[in-house]
Structures are given as structure tokens and as C-alpha cells.
């Protein structure tokens, strides 16, 4: 009943809730009659009324130091995620994880070692791209075929940036590489669009594969994860991780720390990973994917070897840029401190 209630609540949110983007800071301008040649860092902040603050700055005007005060708007608080709106932030665990959802299981036998709200479907952001990669690889499409970025690949939902300009051409292999390693949205979009039957057929293939893998809480609407309607539970994503791990190219592309890829005009482009843990000598990571949109929070799915045991980790709806990897670190220390015989059964869920 708890799962049905939360699922119904989230479905209602998808239909009606609009998540506002954080406000940006605004600053005042120096008086026009002065010629300002240099600004220095603010040296003091004074409190102001109703979300405003006054910043004291030391600047140079015509070569002379001058103190000015600027009134700026305070940054708006972060918008709540879908997990917050569903009440998942009230779930506490002894590791003090910053993720509203967490799951760790033994890759060899699927034994659940730790879980927190792991059966709740939430937006998964760019973790979507791992299913995109699985569909491309299993379809055995020509990896050397050159694909073009078109206006259809431009993000008009989140207005995210991309280094791939309209007209950029590169092989399907390179598109897949930077989609998994660098979470390139236009590359992921182009991969879906260049599937037999186009993007609608690709999304249907994604959902069909989810059903085949038993991912009963999962639904996809695009190939890049920009829509909040791409949802899954942590338990479902663990199934996806285990299936994707069987594909060597997905393991390689998702765990490369950096790579240089070439466009059709021969111009090399350097890309890096979105997960700094893959370059750390302290970690042995065999597959990974990160994700973020406002509705989903920070997300992470990965396979790693800890104390000789292969595990799947999933963290959803984490708060803070480094919180998802910090949660992975906390979980690793917890696993290392336990004897193998004592592992298993640590379960935490929302009180809803």
C-alpha cells in the first residue's frame, strides 16, 4: 500500500507539478560618470531586508580606490525534488546518506546488502543513457556510421548546453562514448533518432527492454534523460546495471576518465568523465553512470569491487554536487567494516 500511495503521488506530480529553476544573482552597476578599471573581491556582506543583501566592494575609479555598496538579490533556495515532494527526505539511515534512495546488492547472487526507499520510482535523469547504450549495442548498429547533430537534438526542455553544435558529425561509436562518459545530451538524442523507425521506435525499444529485464517500475520517454518522465526505482536500475555490465563496450565507454574524439572534419574534441571516482586508484569501477536534473537531484549507478566482492550501487535524489560520490564512499567504508557473514538485510524506507 505504501508503494502504491507514493507511486500515485508521483504520478500526480508528473501531471501537475512544475519545478522552478533557481533564481540567478543580480548585481548593481557602478555610476556612469566614473570610469571603472578594476573590481576587487567583496570584503564584507551586510544583511538586508526581504531576500536582498548589501555587498561592500573596493574598486578603482580613475586609478583611485573607492568603496561602493551594491544591493543584490539573495539566491533562491533549491527547488524540492520529486523525492522530497513524496516525503522521502524524512527517511533516516545510520550512514547519514544524502541520497533519498540507495541500494547496494551483491552482483554474484543479487543479495541486497543495503536499501533505502529502493522500490520507489523517481526521475533518473541521465542514468537513462545507460539504457540508451544497451539498446544501441544490442541492435548491432554500425558503430562506424557517421551521424549528424541536427536541430531536433537541441534541448528545448531544460535548455542544457552542449559542445556539439548543430551540423557536427561523428561516428556512432564516438556518440555513444561521449554520451556515457560525459553525459552528452545531443549525442544521446542523435543515437535515438538514428534508430530504425526513429526516436519513437527507440523509446519503445527502451521500454520493451525494461519489461524484458523485469524493471516493473521503469518508464522512458526519451534517450537522454532530460525529461522528468524518465523514471525507475533503484531496484530496477540494479537490474539494468547487471545487464549493461555484460557488454564490454558499455563498461569501457562509461569508465574512461577522458577521451579525444574526432568529428568528420578531422577536428579533435576532448571530453572527460562526469564521475571523478573512475580515475581514483582507491576504486575499482567496472560500469557507471551519473545523472542530474532538478526534479531528480544527483544520481549515480555503478558497479565496483569492494573487498573482493562485486557490488552494484545505486544512489538517487542526492543533495549537493559531490554528495552522490560521498555517499558511495560512506557505503564502501560500511561494507569494508563488515564481515562477509554479517552482510545483508539493512533496510530503510519512508514512513509514508
What is the DSSP secondary-structure string of 62-116?
Answer: TTEEEEEEEEEEPPPPPPPPHHHHTTGGG---TT--SEEEEEEEETTT--EEEEE
Distance CA 262, CA 246 (A): 27
* 126 flagged as catalytic: yes
Low-confidence stretches of the chain (pLDDT beneath 50): 1-2, 4-5, 8, 12, 14-50, 341-343, 352
The predicted pLDDT at position 290 comes to: 98
* 333 flagged as catalytic: no
- Rg of the chain over Cα atoms, rounded to whole angstroms, equals 23
Q: How far is CA 85 from CA 5, 81, 221, 266, in A?
A: 13, 6, 22, 48
Sign of CA dihedral 288, 294, 116, 237: negative
Strand 297-306 relative to strand 122-123, pairing: unpaired
Which residues does 212 contact at the CB level (< 8 Å), separation at least 6?
Answer: none
The predicted pLDDT at position 70 comes to: 74
Distance CA 252, CA 309 (A): 20
* 342 flagged as catalytic: no
Catalytic member of 99, 126, 233, 349: 126
The predicted pLDDT at position 68 comes to: 79
| 82-338 carries CATH number 3.90.320.10 | no
Q: Is 39 annotated as a binding residue?
A: no
Cell of 151: 536541430
The predicted pLDDT at position 74 comes to: 60
Q: How far is CA 319 from CA 298, 300, 311, in A?
A: 6, 12, 23
Q: What is the pTM of this model?
A: 0.78
Cell of 146: 557517421
2-8 LR contacts (CB < 8 Å, sep 24+): 2/349, 2/350, 2/352, 3/119, 3/120, 5/352, 6/86, 6/87, 6/120, 6/350, 6/352, 7/120, 7/121, 7/217
Catalytic member of 99, 183, 233, 350: 183
Catalytic member of 89, 99, 118, 129: 129
Which residues does 256 contact at the CB level (< 8 Å), separation at least 6?
Answer: 177, 181, 273, 278
Amino acid at each position: 500500500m505504501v508503494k502504491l500511495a507514493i507511486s500515485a503521488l508521483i504520478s500526480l506530480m508528473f501531471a501537475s507539478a512544475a519545478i522552478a529553476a533557481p533564481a540567478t544573482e543580480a548585481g548593481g552597476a557602478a555610476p556612469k560618470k566614473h570610469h571603472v578599471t578594476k573590481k576587487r573581491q567583496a570584503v564584507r556582506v551586510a544583511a538586508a531586508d526581504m531576500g536582498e543583501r548589501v555587498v561592500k566592494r573596493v574598486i578603482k575609479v580613475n586609478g583611485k580606490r573607492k568603496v561602493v555598496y551594491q544591493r543584490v538579490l539573495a539566491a533562491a533556495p533549491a527547488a524540492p525534488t520529486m523525492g522530497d515532494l513524496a516525503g522521502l527526505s524524512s527517511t533516516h539511515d545510520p550512514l547519514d546518506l544524502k541520497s533519498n534512495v540507495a541500494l547496494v546488492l551483491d552482483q554474484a547472487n543479487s543479495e541486497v546488502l543495503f536499501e533505502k526507499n529502493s522500490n520507489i520510482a523517481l526521475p533518473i535523469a541521465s542514468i537513462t543513457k545507460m539504457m540508451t547504450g544497451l539498446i544501441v549495442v544490442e541492435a548491432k548498429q554500425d558503430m562506424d556510421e557517421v551521424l549528424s547533430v541536427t536541430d531536433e537534438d537541441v534541448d528545448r526542455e531544460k535548455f542544457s548546453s552542449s559542445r556539439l553544435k548543430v551540423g557536427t558529425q561523428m561516428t556512432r561509436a564516438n556518440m555513444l562514448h561521449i554520451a556515457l562518459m560525459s553525459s552528452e545530451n545531443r549525442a544521446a538524442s542523435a543515437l535515438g533518432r538514428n534508430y530504425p523507425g526513429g526516436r519513437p521506435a527507440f523509446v519503445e525499444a527502451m521500454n520493451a527492454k525494461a519489461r524484458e529485464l523485469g524493471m516493473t517500475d521503469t518508464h522512458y520517454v526519451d534517450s537522454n534523460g532530460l525529461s522528468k518522465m524518465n523514471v525507475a526505482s533503484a531496484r530496477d536500475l540494479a537490474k539494468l546495471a547487471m545487464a549493461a555490465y555484460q557488454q564490454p563496450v558499455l563498461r569501457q565507454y562509461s569508465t574512461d576518465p577522458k577521451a579525444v574524439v574526432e568529428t568528420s572534419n578531422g577536428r579533435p574534441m576532448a571530453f572527460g568523465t562526469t564521475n571523478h571516482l573512475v580515475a581514483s586508484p582507491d576504486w575499482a569501477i567496472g560500469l557507471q553512470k551519473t545523472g542530474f536534473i532538478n526534479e531528480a537531484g544527483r544520481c549515480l549507478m555503478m558497479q565496483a569491487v569492494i573487498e573482493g566482492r562485486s557490488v552494484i550501487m545505486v544512489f538517487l535524489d542526492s543533495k549537493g554536487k559531490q554528495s552522490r560520490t560521498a555517499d558511495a564512499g560512506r557505503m564502501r567504508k560500511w561494507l569494508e567494516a563488515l564481515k562477509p557473514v554479517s552482510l545483508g538485510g539493512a533496510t530503510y524506507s519512508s514512513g509514508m
